[in-house]
Structure 1
Amino acid sequence: MNHIFPEAIRNLPEADIPLDGITAYLSQADTHQILFMQFEKDIELPEHAHEAQMGIVLEGKIELIIDGEEKSFTKGDRYYIPEGIPHSGKIHAGYADMTFFNEADRYTTKPQLTKP
């Protein structure tokens, strides 16, 4: 994978997100999380809802259906999903973003491998 994030971001803990082909680095705060995500494969996101989410597209393309309205976002675009609003979509391979989740426990970190 060609990393778009600098070493300081790649040194953050990896988020444990159950999607194939994603690498996500987690910046954890007491009240929220910020994820730096990069996708190697196309991903279909089933409809779901949670606390508010805001993303800034760094590379590639994401198509979202937010509260029934279809939108497409590419490099430089921002999107916002209000709390509790159903959304789904497709993330295309090569996509990368920074995403703010207005909840401190949206994702956990991947378990650390112990070295022998």
Structure 2
Amino acid sequence: MDRQSFIKKSGAGISYALFSGFIFCKSQDDEVGTLNYNDPKVIRDADGEVLNVIGDIQTHKLLGSETNDQIFEWVDNVEPGVGIPPHVHTKEDEIFRVVEGEVEIAIDGESTVLKAGDIAFAPKGVPHTWKVVGSQKAKMITSALPAGIEIMFQELSELPAGPPDFEKVAEICAKQGITFV
């Protein structure tokens, strides 16, 4: 069977026509004939903006502004004993991938230790917390879907050095829909 016959008989022609229409849809702000998509990007290990977010040393790798606000990804480089208190997100899901070291993570009351190569998923609406355990620094790649939380991290990184003012931290996090439990 030739290609044209296959398309006609399988209904793929209709699917292609509909799908093409979605791809080439334009917003009112777009010029006719232009596509709105994100540019591909390669991010090297040394690339990214480094922020100290209350002891969590983060390197922001892939920002929402680069992904149509679909995903934000960063690398945590954290000393033993450092962690994040139990909290709940209302806007984003998170994925944690341990690259080096060990991270104890608790999601919805279930606690486990993640080692290099392990991944955990914390959906929005579910309480979770993590802490670096053992004697080795941990490196963890964290993703938030959708993006937006990077704005909160930027604001938290601008707080004065020293022990954090928890009320101020909670106020900043609340703007992103995050509450501590």
In the superposition, the TM-score normalised over structure 2's length comes to 0.51
Once structures 1 and 2 are overlaid, which stretch shifts more, 78-87 or 41-50? 41-50
1:40 offset after TM fit, Å? Answer: 3.0
1:12 offset after TM fit, Å? Answer: 1.5
CA pair 91-54 structure 1, distance change in 2 beyond 3 A: same
Matched residue pairs, number?
104
Q: Which runs of 5+ in 1 are unaligned?
A: 1-6, 112-116
Equivalent residues in 2 for 1:1-116, closer than 5 Å: 8-14=44-50, 16=51, 18-20=53-55, 22-28=57-63, 29-30=67-68, 31-50=70-89, 51-92=92-133, 93-108=136-151, 109=154
Q: Which runs of 5+ in 2 are unaligned?
A: 1-42, 159-181
Q: Distance in 2 between matches of 1:99 and 1:80?
A: 10
Q: Distance in 2 between matches of 1:80 and 1:88?
A: 12
Contact 2:56-2:83 at 8 Å conserved across structures? no
Q: Distance in 1 between matches of 2:144 and 2:58?
A: 17
Contact 2:109-2:128 at 8 Å conserved across structures? yes
RCO higher in structure (CA 8 A, sep ≥6): 1
Cα displacement string for residues 32-71 of structure 1 (whole angstroms, at most 9, x for unaligned residues)? 1011221134213211111211121100011111101111
Q: Percent identity among equivalent residues?
A: 22
Which SS does the other structure have where 2:48 is aligned? coil
Contact 1:49-1:84 at 8 Å conserved across structures? yes
Contact 1:37-1:96 at 8 Å conserved across structures? yes
| Larger helix percent | 2
| Larger strand percent | 1
CA pair 22-41 structure 1, distance change in 2 beyond 3 A: farther
In the superposition, the TM-score normalised over structure 1's length comes to 0.75
CA pair 60-44 structure 1, distance change in 2 beyond 3 A: same
Any runs of at least 4 consecutive aligned residues in structure 1 with deviations exceeding 6 A, and if so which? none
1:114 alignment counterpart: none
Contact 2:79-2:132 at 8 Å conserved across structures? no
Contact 2:72-2:143 at 8 Å conserved across structures? yes
